[in-house]
Amino acid sequence: MTPVELHHEVRGPSDAPPVLLVPSLGTALGQWDRLAAALVDRFRVVRLDIRGHGGSPAPRGPYTVDDLADDVLALADRLGLDRFALVGLSIGGAIGQTVAVREPERLTALVACCTGPRLGDPADWRERAARVRADGTSWLVESATARWFTPEFVAAHPGEVERIVRMLLTTPPEGYAACCEALAAFDLTDQLGDIVAPTRVVVGSEDPVAPPDLGQRMADAVSDADLVVLDAAGHLANVGQPERFNAAVLDHLEAHR
């Protein structure tokens, strides 16, 4: 599939080390507001919407994670970024792993957040894709909120929950469904040992999608990797625990500038 031109935003000094921020399924580049603000003084921060999300095109699917990685690499090429760090969450982490396996010379560092070399059951992803094509994304709100955030966070931060959920509600159904199909076919379990970029795996302690034991197995399989577990965080650990998440990312990126 031909790469699409991804909607993106670039901030930070033009001569600073570049870092690409790749968001999760059903969200957009606004997911990274807090992290981008923490990085922008020291890094050239590129936030993007993956194919089928936000302001990026949503061609008819199915997609593969390789297609999504091609989009990200094409964006890096257009921006003249020969080497860069990548922070990816959930499907964004799947994209980051794929770039790390396919183009190892391009990554200075990888932060793989709330992700794994395989996520969920393929049949469940295909079933979700079919229903989203039929009914849109509104029926996902309750289950997504439960996966993304702890009950305590939902009660304490209703405005932030509403902001993130609005991204899900405005995601094109075809784009969301086609990315579900990409996750159904995604499995890098046997290729994690090919990742040579310095890698930090970040997980939320309460994440039902990519729980800490999956993060540990991933960190063990990558030769230069460590694991950070953020207590009291669900699948969107960057939203649930922004200060500790940002500190974990910044520490890793600074160590591998």
pLDDT in tens, 42-66: 999 999 999 999 999 999 999 999 9
pLDDT in tens, 143-195: 999 999 999 999 999 999 999 999 999 999 999 999 999 999 999 999 999 99
Token pair, residue 178, equals: 């086609």
pLDDT in tens, 71-84: 999 999 999 999 99
**What average pLDDT does the segment 125-143 reach?**
98
Residue 106 has pLDDT above 80, yes or no: yes
How far is residue 145's CA from residue 151's CA, in Å, rounded to a whole number?
A: 9
Q: Give strand pairing partners of 79.
A: none
Whether 111 contacts 99, CB under 8 Å: no
How far is residue 207's CA from residue 150's CA, in Å, rounded to a whole number?
A: 9
* pLDDT given at position 70: 98
Rounded to 5°, angle at Cα 256 from 9 and 216:
95
CATH 3.30.420.40 fits 8-255, yes or no: no
Could you state, in order of their start, the residue ranges of all structural domains in the chain?
8-255
Residues ≥6 apart with Cβ < 8 Å to 88: 21, 22, 94, 95, 96, 97, 110, 111, 112, 113, 115
Largest CA distance in the chain: 47
* pLDDT given at position 1: 76
